[in-house]
Amino acid sequence: MLLAIDIGNTRVKLGLFDGPDLVADFQLRADRERTPDEYAVQLSTLLSLRGQTPADVDAAAMACVVPRLGETLREFARRHLRCEPLVVRAETNTGLRIRYDPPSALGPDRLVNAVAAWTLWGAPENTACVVVDYGTATKLEAVSREGEYLGGAILPGIGISLDALFDRAALLRRVDLHAPPAAAIGANTADALRSGILLGYAAQTDGLVRRFFQELGGSARVIATGGIAPLIAPHAETIAVLDPHLTLTGLRLIHERAARAGVESVV
């Protein structure tokens, strides 16, 4: 089985694949102080809840935007999974032609998302695609109908924006994020915040995506992912697909491509 590891600034997301099937997925806090052995204990416990053990894992693929944590989890894979993980970088053979300048500045999570979106929804339909990833940062990626990664946009994520708002606005209190009120005009402070946060970010997404459409020369298939995507997607007119496991799937697809080429790891 393949263990896909998506190392972000806030969370580490892991997916266990049996062939193309995602049989288990987990999220851990991105703790830079935790050791490889501590991650092994935690993962062993989580796998046991799904009837699996680390011994069932025979390969790993990783995308990382936190270098220190990436080294920790790479050592975890070597020591406890007995495998060298494939570490995705800009030079990894993903099947996409990268037009980013310079390619080395492209975050691996962004590349992995673009690969998954293109493979699943772009290439089969011969259409351009756009990914919207709602994470610590909100990231948009654009892939042409010819399979070229063109670039994208990066802006502060919802969590960062809310932290700044509540830290600086003394009279505002945090609210649980759930479906916004039926009307955009909130009749109380809690609903006003939900409207502004959820409907506001949906409108922001639509505005940016429509600009992407113009530059792509027409419409594109838009795929949303990330922790808060299920709350935003129903209110964004441009989002066509919601895929919470897009990054993990992208890691699987890249690993399969590397395996076909006889490449076990990218150092």
Q: How far apart are CA 194 and CA 201, in angstroms?
A: 10
pLDDT value of residue 161: 79
**Does residue 266 lie in a domain region?**
no
Name the catalytic one among 6, 109, 133, 243.
109
Is the distance from CB of 129 to CB of 118 less than 8 angstroms?
A: yes
- Confidence category of residue 267, pLDDT binned at 50, 70, 90: very low
**Does residue 259 lie in a domain region?**
no
- Confidence category of residue 20, pLDDT binned at 50, 70, 90: very high
176 and 123 assigned to the same domain: yes
160 and 224 assigned to the same domain: yes
159 and 178 assigned to the same domain: yes
**Does residue 256 lie in a domain region?**
no
pLDDT value of residue 227: 87
As a whole number of Å, the CA-based R_g of the chain is: 19
User: Cα 146 from chain centroid?
Assistant: 23
Confidence check: pLDDT of 264 > 50: no
Confidence check: pLDDT of 30 > 60: yes
Confidence check: pLDDT of 15 > 90: yes
Domain span at residue 47 reads 2-87
pLDDT value of residue 263: 53
- Confidence category of residue 172, pLDDT binned at 50, 70, 90: low
Q: How far apart are CA 172 and CA 161, in angstroms?
A: 14
Query: Closest Cα to residue 145, out of 161, 159, 164, 129?
Result: 129
Q: Which is more confidently placed, 249 or 195?
A: 249
pLDDT value of residue 194: 84
Kindly report the average pLDDT of the chain as a whole number.
91
Confidence check: pLDDT of 265 > 50: no
**Does residue 267 lie in a domain region?**
no
109 is catalytic: yes
Confidence check: pLDDT of 167 > 60: yes
Q: How far apart are CA 151 and CA 78, in angstroms?
A: 33
Confidence check: pLDDT of 90 > 60: yes
Q: How far apart are CA 221 and CA 225, in angstroms?
A: 13
pLDDT value of residue 12: 95
119 and 226 assigned to the same domain: yes
Confidence check: pLDDT of 266 > 60: no
Is the distance from CB of 5 to CB of 14 less than 8 angstroms?
A: yes
**Does residue 149 lie in a domain region?**
yes
pLDDT value of residue 195: 87
pLDDT single digits (tens) 109-148: 999 999 999 999 999 989 999 999 999 899 999 999 999 9
67 and 161 assigned to the same domain: no
pLDDT value of residue 117: 98
Confidence check: pLDDT of 170 > 90: no
Q: How many domains does the chain have?
A: 2
